[in-house]
């Protein structure tokens, strides 16, 4: 089975302060570390596991700046056969534009596949939409929130989708199809620095994003960003570690739980 | 006529409460609310929408992206194009909305949690609520959105009369994608929804080796341990300990969150706790917006200090 996996390089902002600049038209990411989108890590692992079991190949594809080569190398170190970069220096804020470019690319370059995997969402824009839009455009069956692939038989995936509150549904879906993979589906393998270095020797092809779609094709516009509305927020406990902890215990006692 | 087409989410016969946010969104946008729903009996106030479109098809087919897309294009064929198509930002809502947008080449904005009616701007979260993007459609066409649960239900108003009801035939099942069965989570020993005091751990605690030290603290404080999704995904804690939309909804007397950022899927599962105390290294962590008490500090240091104090 030949699987294409879309991977994205995202800013790891969890522990960082995000600063809006240019009147909210941009976010200053200059001091923020980048990494592979968490969900894509699970998607690559799942694809590699399938191919290890039954043969075929995994190709990692990324849309982004030249630095996105990092995440392609990581995907190769995890077991992908090769990598493709659709290079653009501009950030793309419309998932429909992203899907349109992918659609045009796959058609024009005549790329063959049995399945396309994406992560459920990317950590930066949290759209969770590119896989679904692409499936709609390509007229392929689609499933998101895939939390377990139980079997691949007679051209069908039997898989579980995660719903709310711990409930799952089992469905059958025909290949070729597009699946968006949920975190926790597997345990992504450890990748060593050595592994990533070795991956540098594997071929990665680069294409120009603009040859397949242009920014003017976006059908939604990002006007600007803003900080969240403050909701009043918490009473902050400050001071020495010792005092803070005593205060915490005091609160617990007052609430009658400790 | 300009109307909002609301795709309701019903699961195992229940009209999900988050549908009210979709209806509230339609009201806030000043559109007539047309609710699409599979045929059945639900606990639904008929006077909060203008029209109810009952689809003659089973729930599992209704929630199938390939099928609902066909149903929606049929409805548009009869009623004309809506201004906006509204889904809930849930597992199925996201799946259906994105597929529909792709199939019909419609603009889409997901996880919408705010709306500026004058400017017709939609607000959506970036980086787990650290900032919000303000979006507009850039094409004259119906817009597809998914709305975050809890965001718009306060805008629901009664229309003063019952909705008009119409029935449409649904497409039949297809072999490309079919529902097999529901799979319930295994029931095990602990039930975090029963605990009065939860010590909840997030990715910020660093690694699995820290867990036993938190367990010691939990024993000293008589707290039950729970966690955010990444902690469960990485198998630092078992699945039954997960708090959030895809885990459990909890309302303990005290929820002590350590190293949890406060993504909405997590917040939705614990925001009704009586008292929330959050420890996070980042002063801008969104969880401080929901907490009663906040501490900007290293969770592991707070843990060790609390242990010291409790051990006397
Ligand atoms: C469909 C779907 C369903 C989901 N369901 C759930 C769900 O049910 N439950 C859930 O929790 N999530 C869920 N998520 C994931 C959610 O979007 C977030 O990714 C997740 O909640 C983040 O977990 P976290 O806060 O532990 O990690 P992060 O967001 O990585 O945050 C870690 C925090 O720790 C802080 N930190 C770092 N080091 C320290 C330190 N030494 N001391 C103190 N603080 C520190 C950081 O500042 C940061 O705020 C779901 C996502 C999707 C797409």
Q: What percent of chain B has pLDDT over 70?
A: 100
Q: Give the span between the Cα atoms of A120 and A183, in whole angstroms.
A: 8
In this structure, are B199 and B106 located in the same domain? no
In this structure, are B40 and B135 located in the same domain? yes
Domain assignment of residue B307, yes or no: yes
CA dihedral B267, B272, B274, B276 (to 10 degrees): 10
Residue A123 pLDDT > 70: yes
pLDDT digits (tens, 9 = 90+) for B206-251: 999 999 999 999 999 999 999 999 999 999 999 999 999 999 999 9
In this structure, are B78 and B219 located in the same domain? no
Q: How far is CA B200 from CA A241, B223, B245, B294, in A?
A: 20, 9, 15, 14
Domain assignment of residue B37, yes or no: yes
Task: Please answer whether residues B243 and B231 qualify as being in contact, where contact means their C-beta atoms are separated by less than 8 angstroms.
Answer: no
Length of chain B as a residue count: 312
Query: Which residues in chain A have Cβ-Cβ distances shorter than 8 Å to B173?
Result: none
**Domain of B299, in residue numbers:** 192-311
Nearest residue in A to B264, CA atom: A126
Does ligand 1 come within 6 angstroms of the Cβ of B226? no
In this structure, are B137 and B205 located in the same domain? no
In this structure, are B154 and B234 located in the same domain? no
Average pLDDT, chain B: 96
Task: Please answer whether residues B74 and B168 qualify as being in contact, where contact means their C-beta atoms are separated by less than 8 angstroms.
Answer: yes
Residue B1 pLDDT > 60: no
3-state SS, chain B, equals CCEEEEECCEECCEECCCHHHHHHHHHHCCCEEEEEEECCCCCCCHHHCCEEEEEECCHHHHCCHHHHHHHHHHHHHHHCCCCEEEEECCHHHHHHHHHHHHHCCCCEEEEEEEEECCCCEEEEEECCCCEEEEEEECCCCCEEEEECCCCCHHHCCCCCCCCEEEEEECCCCCCCEEEEEEECCCCCCCCHHHCCEEEEECHHHCCHHHHHHHHHHHHHHCCEEEECHHHHHCCCCCHHHEECCCCECCCCCEEEEECCCCCHHHHCCCCCCCEEEEEECCCCCHHHHCCCEEEECCHHHHHHHHHHHHHC
pLDDT digits (tens, 9 = 90+) for B13-31: 999 999 999 999 999 999 9
pLDDT given at position A44: 98
Does ligand 1 come within 6 angstroms of the Cβ of B240? no
Residue A81 pLDDT > 80: yes
Residue B188 pLDDT > 80: no
Task: Please answer whether residues A177 and A140 qualify as being in contact, where contact means their C-beta atoms are separated by less than 8 angstroms.
Answer: yes
Domain assignment of residue B186, yes or no: no
Q: Give the span between the Cα atoms of B108 and B147, in whole angstroms.
A: 11
Question: Omega of the bond prior to A176 within 30 degrees of 0, cis?
Answer: yes
In this structure, are B26 and B129 located in the same domain? yes
Domain assignment of residue B176, yes or no: no
- Mean pLDDT, to the nearest integer, of A21-47? 97
pLDDT given at position B160: 85
Which residue, judged by its Cα, is nearest atom 8 of ligand 1? B244
In this structure, are B144 and B36 located in the same domain? yes
Residue A227 pLDDT > 80: yes
Q: What is the CATH number of the domain that holds B196?
A: 3.40.50.1220
Residue A232 pLDDT > 90: no
Q: What is the CATH number of the domain that holds B71?
A: 3.40.50.620
In this structure, are B145 and B207 located in the same domain? no
For a mutational test of ligand 1's pocket, the pick from B265, B285, B295, i.e. the residue with the most ligand atoms closer than 8 A to its C-beta, is B265
In this structure, are B132 and B204 located in the same domain? no
Which residue, judged by its Cα, is nearest atom 11 of ligand 1? B228
B280 close contact with A: CB closer than 8 A: no
In this structure, are B198 and B104 located in the same domain? no
Q: How many domains does chain B have?
A: 2
Find residues 185-224 of chain B whose CB sits inside 8 Å of chain A.
Answer: 185, 196-197, 203-204, 221-223
ipTM for the whole complex: 0.97
pLDDT digits (tens, 9 = 90+) for A160-169: 999 999 999 9
Domain assignment of residue B80, yes or no: yes
In this structure, are B199 and B270 located in the same domain? yes
Task: Please answer whether residues A87 and A65 qualify as being in contact, where contact means their C-beta atoms are separated by less than 8 angstroms.
Answer: yes
pLDDT given at position A233: 82
Q: Are the beta carbons of A241 and B284 separated by less than 8 Å?
A: no
Residue B187 pLDDT > 80: no
Domain assignment of residue B187, yes or no: no
pLDDT given at position B285: 94
Nearest residue in A to B250, CA atom: A165
pTM score of the predicted model:
0.96
* Domain A2-232 belongs in CATH node 3.40.50.970: no
Query: Which residues in chain B have Cβ-Cβ distances shorter than 8 Å to A142?
Result: 65-66, 95, 98-99, 177
In this structure, are B164 and B19 located in the same domain? yes
Residue B279: pLDDT band (50, 70, 90) is very high
CA distance B38 to chain A (A): 18
- Mean pLDDT, to the nearest integer, of B132-141? 96
From the CB of residue A148, how many other CB atoms can be counted at a distance below 10 Å?
A: 17
pLDDT given at position B186: 79
Domain assignment of residue B175, yes or no: no
């Amino acid at each position: 089975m030949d699987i294409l996996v879309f991977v994205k390089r995202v800013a790891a902002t969890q522990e960082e302060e995000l600063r809006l600049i240019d009147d909210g038209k941009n976010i200053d990411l200059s001091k923020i570390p980048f990494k592979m989108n968490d969900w894509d890590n699970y998607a690559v692992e799942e694809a590699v596991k399938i191919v290890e079991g039954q043969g075929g190949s995994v190709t990692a594809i990324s849309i982004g700046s030249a630095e996105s080569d990092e995440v392609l190398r990581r995907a190769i170190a995890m077991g992908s056969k090769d990598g493709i970069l659709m290079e653009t220096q501009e950030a793309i804020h419309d998932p429909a534009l992203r899907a349109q470019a992918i659609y045009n690319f796959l058609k024009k370059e005549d790329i063959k596949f049995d399945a396309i995997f994406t992560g459920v969402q990317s950590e930066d824009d949290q759209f969770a939409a590119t896989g679904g839009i692409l499936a709609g455009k390509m007229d392929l069956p689609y499933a998101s929130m895939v939390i377990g692939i139980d079997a691949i038989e007679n051209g069908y995936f039997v898989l579980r989708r995660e719903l709310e509150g711990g409930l799952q549904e089992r469905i059958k879906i025909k290949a070729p199809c597009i699946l968006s993979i949920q975190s926790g589906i597997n345990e992504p393998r450890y990748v060593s620095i050595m592994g990533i270095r070795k991956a540098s020797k594997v071929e990665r092809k680069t294409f120009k994003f603009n040859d397949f779609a242009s920014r003017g094709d976006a059908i939604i516009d990002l006007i600007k960003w803003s900080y969240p509305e403050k909701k009043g927020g918490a009473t902050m406990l400050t001071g020495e570690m010792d005092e803070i902890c005593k205060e915490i215990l005091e609160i617990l006692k007052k609430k009658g739980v400790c | 006529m300009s109307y909002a087409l609301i795709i309701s989410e019903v699961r195992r016969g229940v009209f999900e409460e988050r549908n009210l946010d979709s209806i509230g969104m339609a009201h806030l946008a000043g559109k007539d609310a047309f609710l699409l729903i599979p045929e059945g009996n639900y606990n639904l106030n008929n006077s909060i929408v203008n029209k109810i479109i009952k689809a003659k098809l089973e729930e599992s087919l209704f929630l199938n992206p390939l099928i609902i897309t066909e149903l929606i294009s049929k409805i548009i064929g009869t009623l004309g194009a809506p201004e906006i198509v509204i889904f809930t930002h849930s597992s199925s809502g996201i799946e259906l909305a994105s597929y529909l947008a792709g199939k019909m080449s419609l603009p889409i904005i997901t996880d919408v949690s705010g709306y500026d009616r004058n400017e017709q701007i939609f607000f959506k979260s970036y980086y787990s609520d650290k900032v919000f993007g303000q979006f507009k459609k850039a094409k004259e066409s119906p817009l597809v959105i998914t709305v975050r649960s809890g965001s718009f239900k306060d805008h629901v108003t009664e229309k003063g009369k019952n909705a008009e009801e119409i029935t449409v035939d649904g497409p039949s099942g297809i072999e490309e994608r079919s529902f097999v069965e529901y799979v319930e989570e295994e029931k095990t020993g602990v039930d975090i929804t029963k605990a009065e005091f939860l010590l909840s751990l997030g990715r910020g605690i660093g690694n699995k080796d820290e867990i036993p030290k938190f367990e010691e603290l939990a024993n000293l404080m008589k707290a039950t341990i729970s966690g955010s999704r990444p902690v469960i995904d990485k198998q630092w804690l078992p699945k039954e300990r997960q708090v959030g939309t895809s885990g459990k909804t909890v309302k303990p007397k005290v929820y002590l969150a350590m190293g949890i950022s406060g993504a909405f899927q997590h917040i939705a599962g614990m925001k009704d706790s009586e008292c929330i105390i959050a420890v996070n290294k980042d002063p801008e962590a969104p969880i401080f917006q929901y907490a009663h008490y906040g501490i900007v500090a290293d969770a592991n240091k707070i843990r060790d200090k609390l242990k010291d104090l409790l051990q006397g």
